[in-house]
C-alpha cells in the first residue's frame, strides 16, 4: 500500500493532462497559466464567490450600486446609433430586465450567449432607458448552480483569454476541480496535528476543499486563513534558510576600532544622535563576530545613514580590508562619493569612484588600485560587478537602495571578497510587515531620529491659481540668500510629454518669471558632465533656481536650498514625494515644500493631505503601502520572492508573525529540513522556490 507521501506525489503531482476533461488544447492553455499538475489546479483559487447575500434582484437595483445579478439571457445582438456600434444583451429575472452593453472591439462577445443561458453579471448600475451595466463581468452558470435557489456558495475563477478560448470558464473549472477531488483521495498535510492545533489552522485537505466547495462563509474564511498562512510560511522558510546560510559562513573578525575611526570622530562637525549611536553599537557587535554581518539599515530622509556607513567603513579599513559601496544610479553614487571623500581625504583613506563611460587610463588605474589594495574605499554603480574588477581584500559591501538591484547583482559583488560583511541601506522607511517579508533574512537597524539641528519642513498643497503668490515667496527667499528646486514629473508612459513640460517650464522661468535670477535645468537624459556642471553651479549658489525632473529624488545635498515646488504633485506616489521633499530642510534655515495640484481625485487628495500633515517617513510609508501594495511600493516586485495568491502584505501582519515564528523554529532545529516530519515541507518548498536554491544552503 502507498505511503501518504508517495500517494501525495503520484496524485497531486500528476500531470494535468491525465485529468478527465483536459484535452491537448486545454492542457496547453492551462500550462500557459502555470497550471501543470493537479496540485496547481487545486491552488488556482477562486477570484470571488456568489452566495445569496451578495445577489440582488433587478427590482432592488439602484443607480450607482456595484451589484451582482443572476438571470437568464432573453435577447442579444448588435445595435447601431449615429455615433457608434455596440453589443447589447438583455438579462431577465422574475422582477424585471437589465441591459448589458459592450462598446469597442466587440467581436469577441458575439458568440458568447444563447437565449435561455443562466448567467451572473457584475458591475456598476447606470440608468439609460432602464437599468444598464456597461462592460459587465459575467459568468455562465448551470441551471442547478443558482445560489439563491440552492443555498450554495459558488466559486468564480480567474481566467484570461487563453483559458476562455478553450471553454475554461468558471463552470469548467468547477467541474475540473470536482473531478480532481474525486480522483486524489486523501491529501496529507505538511504540518503535524500538533502544529495544526497549536496554530488554530484547518487541515490542508479541508482548507483546499472549503476554498473551492465552501459549506459556509465561516468555513470559507477558515480555509482562506490556512492557505494564506501557508504562503507566508514558505516565504519565511526561505528567509530562515537565507539567514542561516549567512550565519553559517565563517566571516572575518573586525574587532579593533583602529586609528581611522578615532580621527573620523574628531572630524565630524556635529554630534551623533542617540539612534545613530545605537545602530553603530549593533554594527560593531556584528563586525566583532565570526559570523558574517547581514544587516539592513533603515533611516528616514536626512537621518544620517551616510555617516554611519562611513564609520563602519573606517572600522573595516582600520582592520586592513577594503570597502565597496554600490548605488543604483550615477547621481546617487556621485553624492555618496562626494560625502565619503571629504572625510576620507582628511583622515588619509584612499577612495575612488567607478562608473560607466570613464577613460580607459582612468579605469585601469582604479582597477590596479583595487587589486593591489591601494584603494581602500570604492564607490560605484553596477560598474562594480564587472568581471575584471578584482579586490585585494574586500571586507565590507555596502548596498544602497538594494530593492533596485537583483539578487544576482548583489551576489556577484559579494563574491568578489571572502565572505565580506554586508550592510544594506535604504531611505525608504519600510513598514514592519514588509520588512519581515522582504528582508526577513536580515538583522534590521533603524535610525528613527533626525539630527538635532534639523528644522521641520513646512508643506502646503496649492492650486495653480495661487502660483503668483508662490513665485513671490520664492523671490523673497532668494533675496534672503536661499535657493529653490522646481520639480516636474517624469513618468515612463508619458516620458516625451513630461520632458517637454519640464523644458517649457525651464524656459518660462528663465525668460519670463524669474529673469532677474540664474535658472538651471537637469534631467536624467542629459550627459553626465552637463548635469554635473549644473549641480556644481547650484551647490555654489551660482544658480538660484534649479528646474529638474525626478532625477534629484535621491543623492542631492544642498543645505542652502529652502524651497521646493513640485508641479503636478498628484502624479507622484507618497514615497517619491517624501524622497523629493527630503532634498530640502538640510540646512539651518526654515524650509518649505509647495505641492501644486492640477487635478483632483479622491486618492490624490488623500495622498497630498498625508504629505501636508506629516514629515514622518514611517507614517508615510504605511500610508503608501495601504494605497499601492507591496509590489509597487518597491518599484518592482522584489526578487520574485512572494508567491502570493491570497496573502496580503498590508492586512496579514498577525499571520505573518505567526508563520515566521514557526518557520524560524523549524529551521533552527532542522536547518536542512532533513527530519522525516519535515520531508513534505522540504518538497513543497523546493517546488515553490527552486530558483532560490543557489542562494541558500539546504543540503
With 0.85 as the threshold, say if the pTM is over it.
no
Q: Residue 354 and residue 595: Cα distance in Å, rounded?
A: 36
- Pick from 20-24, 398-402, 517-521, 587-591: least confident: 398-402
Query: Does the pLDDT of residue 626 top 80, yes or no?
Result: no
Closest CA to 290 of 245, 325, 341, 252: 252
Q: What angle do CA 558, 564, 570 make, to 5 degrees?
A: 135
- Looking at the DSSP assignment, which residues form a beta bridge with residue 353? 379
Please enumerate in sequence order all residues whose Cβ is within 8 A of that of 616, keeping only pairs 6 or more positions apart, or say none: 300
Q: Residue 231 and residue 80: Cα distance in Å, rounded?
A: 50
Q: What's the confidence (pLDDT) of residue 65?
A: 87
Query: Does the pLDDT of residue 40 top 60, yes or no?
Result: yes
Q: What's the confidence (pLDDT) of residue 682?
A: 93
Distance separating the N- and C-terminal Cα atoms of the chain: 30
- Yes or no: say if 114 and 73 are a contact pair by the CB < 8 Å rule: yes
User: H-helix or E-strand containing 280?
Assistant: helix 274-287
Query: Does the pLDDT of residue 594 top 60, yes or no?
Result: yes
- Pick from 269-278, 283-292, 614-623, 640-649: least confident: 640-649
Query: Does the pLDDT of residue 691 top 50, yes or no?
Result: yes
The C-alpha cell 485529468 sits at 19
Longest dimension (CA), the chain: 91
Q: How far is CA 55 from the centre of its chain?
A: 35
Query: Does the pLDDT of residue 436 top 70, yes or no?
Result: yes
- Yes or no: say if 476 and 329 are a contact pair by the CB < 8 Å rule: no
What are the tens digits of pLDDT across the range 159-202?
877 888 888 988 899 999 999 998 887 888 999 999 999 999 99
- Pick from 5-19, 22-36, 279-293: least confident: 5-19
**What average pLDDT does this structure show over 475-485?**
96
Please enumerate in sequence order all residues whose Cβ is within 8 A of that of 139, keeping only pairs 6 or more positions apart, or say none: 119, 120, 156, 169, 170, 171
Q: What is the DSSP-derived secondary structure letter of residue 382?
A: G
Q: Residue 587 and residue 367: Cα distance in Å, rounded?
A: 37
Mean pLDDT of the chain: 87
Query: Does the pLDDT of residue 593 top 60, yes or no?
Result: yes
- Pick from 176-180, 425-429, 463-467: least confident: 425-429
Q: What is the DSSP-derived secondary structure letter of residue 651?
A: T
Q: What's the confidence (pLDDT) of residue 53?
A: 78
The C-alpha cell 480567474 sits at 158
Query: Does the pLDDT of residue 454 top 90, yes or no?
Result: no
Q: What's the confidence (pLDDT) of residue 3?
A: 42
Q: Residue 348 and residue 382: Cα distance in Å, rounded?
A: 26
Query: Does the pLDDT of residue 5 top 60, yes or no?
Result: no
- Yes or no: say if 401 and 425 are a contact pair by the CB < 8 Å rule: yes
- Yes or no: say if 429 and 617 are a contact pair by the CB < 8 Å rule: yes
Query: Does the pLDDT of residue 636 top 70, yes or no?
Result: no
Query: Does the pLDDT of residue 14 top 50, yes or no?
Result: yes
Query: Does the pLDDT of residue 78 top 80, yes or no?
Result: yes
Sheet of 458-462, strand order: 458-462, 592-596, 561-566, 483-487, 545-548, 519-522
**What average pLDDT does this structure show over 42-53?**
88
Q: How many residues does the chain have?
A: 699
Closest CA to 329 of 194, 162, 459, 524: 524
Look up residue 207 and give its three cell numbers. 482548507
Instruction: Give the highest mean pLDDT range of 5-9, 80-84, 552-556.
Output: 80-84
pLDDT confidence band for 9 (50 / 70 / 90): very low
What are the tens digits of pLDDT across the range 566-575?
999 999 988 8
Query: Does the pLDDT of residue 109 top 70, yes or no?
Result: yes
Look up residue 632 and give its three cell numbers. 509597487
Query: Does the pLDDT of residue 687 top 90, yes or no?
Result: no
Q: Residue 399 and residue 424: Cα distance in Å, rounded?
A: 5
Look up residue 227 and give its three cell numbers. 492557505
The C-alpha cell 488556482 sits at 44
Q: What's the confidence (pLDDT) of residue 1?
A: 38
Instruction: Tell me the H-state helices in 415-522.
Output: 432-438, 467-479, 495-508
Amino acid at each position: 500500500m502507498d505511503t501518504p507521501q508517495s500517494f501525495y506525489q503520484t496524485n497531486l503531482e500528476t500531470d494535468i493532462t491525465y485529468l478527465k476533461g483536459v484535452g491537448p488544447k486545454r492542457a496547453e492553455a492551462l500550462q500557459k497559466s502555470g497550471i501543470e499538475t493537479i496540485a496547481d489546479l487545486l491552488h488556482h483559487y477562486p477570484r470571488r464567490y456568489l452566495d445569496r447575500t451578495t445577489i440582488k434582484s433587478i427590482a432592488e437595483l439602484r443607480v450607482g450600486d456595484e451589484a451582482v445579478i443572476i438571470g437568464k439571457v432573453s435577447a442579444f445582438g448588435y445595435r447601431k446609433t449615429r455615433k457608434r456600434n455596440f453589443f447589447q444583451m438583455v438579462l431577465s429575472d422574475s422582477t424585471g430586465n437589465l441591459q448589458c452593453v459592450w462598446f469597442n472591439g466587440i467581436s469577441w462577445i458575439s458568440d458568447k450567449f444563447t437565449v435561455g443561458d443562466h448567467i451572473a453579471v457584475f458591475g456598476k448600475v447606470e440608468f439609460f432607458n432602464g437599468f444598464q451595466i456597461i462592460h459587465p463581468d459575467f459568468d455562465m452558470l448551470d441551471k442547478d448552480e443558482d445560489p439563491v435557489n440552492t443555498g450554495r456558495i459558488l466559486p468564480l475563477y480567474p481566467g484570461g483569454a487563453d483559458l476562455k478560448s478553450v471553454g475554461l470558464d468558471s463552470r469548467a473549472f468547477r467541474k475540473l476541480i470536482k473531478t480532481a477531488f474525486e480522483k486524489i483521495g486523501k491529501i496529507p498535510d505538511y504540518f503535524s496535528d500538533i502544529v495544526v492545533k497549536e496554530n488554530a489552522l484547518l487541515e490542508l485537505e479541508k482548507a483546499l476543499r472549503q476554498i473551492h466547495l465552501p459549506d459556509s462563509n465561516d468555513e470559507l474564511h477558515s480555509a482562506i486563513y490556512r492557505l494564506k498562512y501557508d504562503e507566508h510560511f514558505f516565504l519565511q522558510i526561505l528567509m530562515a534558510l537565507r539567514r542561516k546560510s549567512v550565519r553559517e559562513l565563517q566571516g572575518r573578525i573586525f574587532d579593533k576600532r583602529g586609528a581611522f575611526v578615532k580621527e573620523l570622530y574628531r572630524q565630524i562637525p556635529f554630534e551623533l544622535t542617540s539612534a545613530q549611536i545605537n545602530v553603530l553599537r549593533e554594527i560593531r557587535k556584528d563586525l566583532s563576530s565570526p559570523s558574517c554581518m547581514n544587516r539592513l539599515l533603515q533611516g528616514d530622509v536626512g537621518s544620517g545613514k551616510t555617516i554611519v556607513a562611513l564609520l563602519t567603513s573606517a572600522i573595516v579599513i582600520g582592520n586592513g580590508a577594503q570597502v565597496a559601496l554600490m548605488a543604483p544610479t550615477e547621481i546617487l553614487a556621485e553624492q555618496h562619493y562626494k560625502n565619503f571623500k571629504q572625510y576620507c581625504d582628511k583622515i588619509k583613506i584612499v577612495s575612488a569612484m567607478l562608473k560607466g563611460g570613464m577613460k580607459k587610463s582612468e579605469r585601469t588605474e582604479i582597477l590596479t588600485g583595487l587589486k593591489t589594495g591601494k584603494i581602500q574605499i570604492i564607490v560605484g554603480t553596477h560598474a562594480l560587478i564587472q568581471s575584471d574588477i578584482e579586490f585585494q581584500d574586500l571586507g565590507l559591501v555596502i548596498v544602497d537602495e538594494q530593492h533596485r538591484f537583483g539578487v544576482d547583482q548583489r551576489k556577484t559583488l559579494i563574491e568578489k571578497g571572502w565572505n565580506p560583511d554586508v550592510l544594506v541601506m535604504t531611505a525608504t522607511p519600510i513598514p514592519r510587515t514588509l520588512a519581515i517579508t522582504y528582508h526577513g533574512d536580515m538583522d534590521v537597524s533603524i535610525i528613527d531620529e533626525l539630527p538635532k539641528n534639523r528644522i521641520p519642513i513646512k508643506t502646503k498643497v496649492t492650486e495653480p491659481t495661487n502660483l503668483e503668490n508662490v513665485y513671490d515667496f520664492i523671490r523673497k527667499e532668494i533675496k534672503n540668500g536661499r535657493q529653490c528646486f522646481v520639480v516636474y514629473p517624469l513618468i515612463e508612459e508619458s516620458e516625451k510629454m513630461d520632458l517637454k513640460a519640464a523644458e517649457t517650464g525651464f524656459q518660462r522661468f528663465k525668460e519670463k518669471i524669474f529673469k532677474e535670477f540664474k535658472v538651471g535645468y537637469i534631467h536624467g537624459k542629459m550627459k553626465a558632465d552637463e548635469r554635473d556642471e549644473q549641480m556644481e553651479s547650484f551647490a555654489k549658489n551660482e544658480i538660484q533656481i534649479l528646474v529638474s525632473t525626478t532625477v534629484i529624488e535621491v543623492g542631492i545635498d544642498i543645505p542652502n536650498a529652502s524651497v521646493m515646488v513640485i508641479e503636478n504633485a498628484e502624479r507622484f506616489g507618497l514615497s517619491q514625494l517624501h524622497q523629493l521633499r527630503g532634498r530640502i530642510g538640510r540646512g539651518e534655515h526654515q524650509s518649505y515644500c509647495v505641492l501644486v495640484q492640477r487635478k483632483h481625485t479622491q486618492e490624490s487628495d488623500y495622498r497630498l493631505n498625508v504629505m501636508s500633515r506629516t514629515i514622518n517617513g514611517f507614517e508615510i510609508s504605511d500610508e503608501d503601502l495601504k494605497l499601492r501594495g507591496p509590489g509597487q511600493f518597491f518599484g518592482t516586485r522584489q526578487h520574485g520572492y512572494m508567491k502570493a495568491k491570497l496573502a496580503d502584505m498590508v492586512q496579514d501582519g498577525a499571520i505573518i508573525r505567526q508563520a515566521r515564528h514557526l518557520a524560524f523554529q523549524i529551521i533552527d532545529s532542522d536547518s536542512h529540513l532533513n527530519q522525516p516530519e519535515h520531508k513534505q515541507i522540504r518538497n513543497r518548498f523546493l517546488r515553490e522556490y527552486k530558483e532560490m536554491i543557489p542562494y541558500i544552503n539546504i543540503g
